[in-house]
A and B are shown apart, each in its own frame.
Chain A
Amino acid sequence: MPNVSFDDLLADDGRVEPRDPMPDGYRRTLVRQIAQHAHSEIIGMQPEGNWISRAPSLRRKAILMAKVQDEAGHGLYLYAAAETLGVDRADLLDQLHTGRQKYSSIFNYPTLTWADVGAIGWLVDGAAIVNQVPLCRCSYGPYARAMVRICKEESFHQRQGFEILHTLSHGTPGQRAMAQDAVDRYWWPALMMFGPPDDDSPHSAQSMAWGIKRFSNDDLRQRFVDMTVPQAEALDLTLPDPEIRWNDERGHYDFGEVDFGELTEVIKGNGPCNRERMAHRLRAHEDGAWVREAAAAYAAKHAVPEEGAA
């Protein structure tokens, strides 16, 4: 009986709201996906946060602080969206901290130079936008609405990243080399952000049927390549793939084969920074425990009516 209205809603391209009936599998899939998205936002604060103290101008420092702050804000909306499904943030964080839930593997790559901040904005936020714009039409209302706001901010971040690289690629020879090196290192990991190829993506079909996912991994990856190649030309930087060329017949850019073995290794925990990212997150969480306990104790003390207070 409940499934009838759920199915009708999906058939109608309607939005499922928190109090609507929904299959357990749908709820579990959404919790997992939204939580992993939230975790990605907060872990994603680290690689860029790594350059806040060293940003090369005060203007860039301000922009970067605001950007990393936006990521914390995205984490907050997403945890709130997940909470509408009956879980709570503390439990989700616990699952991140104990390795039972993951975050986007891209954040396990290091930011070695300032240009990496530009490459993350341009390529990583660019790929995130391609992944996330369709989520604005996701069948689950609170997630879809959170994504509308997040996508607006991400697109602003992507332009900022492009502008950082544009400035560098038109700067001194040292700056130009820094920009090219960053693009060389971030290009392939950015393509991996769309996930495994379609013939090796076990959950995709169900997510498509539920209106959570709208396009396949390979379709989105192609869309990203098509969008990015002309931008690389505008930047006067080279993408590190000699096989990139326009294919008239397909109406798309061809590109080389992504090394999904590397993706698997990074997801398994063997990327360049997996251990550092988790250690940083855990340290922040553990170092802050006494503060959260104090806030809870204070709130409890001051919520108790005076006459009942010990």
Chain B
Amino acid sequence: MTTPPSTLFDYVLGLADDALVSAQRMGWWISRAPELEEDVALANIGLDQLGQARALLTYAGAVEGAGRTEDDLAYLRDDREFRNVWLVERPQADFAVTIARLLVLATWQSELYVALASASDPTLAGVAGKAVKEVAYHVDHARLWTLRLGDGTEVSHLRMQQALDAEWPYVEELFAPTAGALVDPGALREGVLGRVEEVVVAATLSVPQVAPAIGGGRRGLHTEHLGHLLAEMQHLHRSHPGAVW
């Protein structure tokens, strides 16, 4: 079975945009983290995500075959052309939200990349094989902080629970059917939720019972937040058309 190039392009772009938008949010923390070690750690995670995004965007450009580079795809698409899930695009200026989101995202990426590493597409398998090791560290970092915050003080317990409640509506979109998917998103659901919920319970927190958000990121339908994120990210590049940096 071969995937038509246009849907493979959209699929790869979706994974690339998840990583790129996450990296953009993570970069905000550098110089704002609760302690210096955490500035280093969050920068590290953001750098890994950015590296994954660059490899995936470059591959998406090759699949498309229209000569678009990683920068063309990152800087010259509008929000309706982005394919990331809603989980990653909303503001992330609260440490508990950052950790809750990273726990979900990195656990999902970890299951996904393991599956993709043995997929039929050799380029994607290569990118995923490298990323598996990186996201294992992200999962571990998020797990340790979930435990500390959940089982720390009363305040941190409450804030971590509120963060989980806030992020949970956006979890389901990760498992929605996606055109061109080389790994069935629904097949990852049980493994991802099992791992995440185990951490949540160990942290003395409860698994939120909330209705999923409607989603639509994979089809280019986003929250209002993405436009602002892209305006900031893209403005300099777009102000100097054709310039080399």
Contact = CB atoms under 8 A, between A and B. Distances in A.
Interface in B12-61: 20, 23-24, 27-28, 30-40, 43-44, 46-47, 50-51, 53-54, 57
B31 A68 contact: yes
A230 B147 CA distance: 55
B44 A69 contact: yes
B27 A297 contact: no
A83 B235 CA distance: 43
Contact of A293 (B27, B75, B156, B235): B156
B95 A61 contact: no
B232 interface: yes
B27 A54 contact: no
Nearest to B93: A287
Given A42-B36, A65-B50, A75-B36, A57 B31 contact: no
Interface string A295-306: 111110100000
B237 A56 contact: yes
B173 interface: no
Given A53-B233, A288-B34, A291-B95, A62 B47 contact: yes
A99 interface: no
Contacts of B235: 54
B219 interface: no
Interface string A257-296: 0000000000000000000000010011001111111111
A181 to B, nearest CB: 14
Contacts of B242: 172
Contacts of B71: 57-58
A167 B245 contact: yes
B244 interface: yes
Contacts of A256: none
A49 B148 contact: no
Nearest to A291: B34
A52 interface: yes
A75 B30 CA distance: 13
B155 interface: yes
Contacts of A143: none
Contacts of B51: 62
Contact of A53 (B20, B152, B232): B232
Given A69-B43, A288-B34, A301 B240 contact: no
Contacts of A291: 34-35, 38, 95, 149, 156
B152 A167 contact: no
Contacts of B46: 65
Interface in A17-71: 42, 45-46, 49, 52-62, 65-66, 68-69
Interface string B60-79: 00000000001100110000
Contact of A72 (B28, B43, B232): B43
A58 to B, nearest CB: 5
A174 interface: yes
A290 B159 contact: yes
Interface of B: 20, 23-24, 27-28, 30-40, 43-44, 46-47, 50-51, 53-54, 57, 70-71, 74-75, 95, 147-149, 151-153, 155-156, 159, 232-233, 235-237, 240, 242-245
Given A62-B50, A171-B244, 13 more contacts: A42-B36, A49-B30, A56-B236, A57-B75, A58-B54, A61-B27, A65-B43, A68-B43, A69-B39, A114-B245, A167-B244, A284-B33, A298-B148
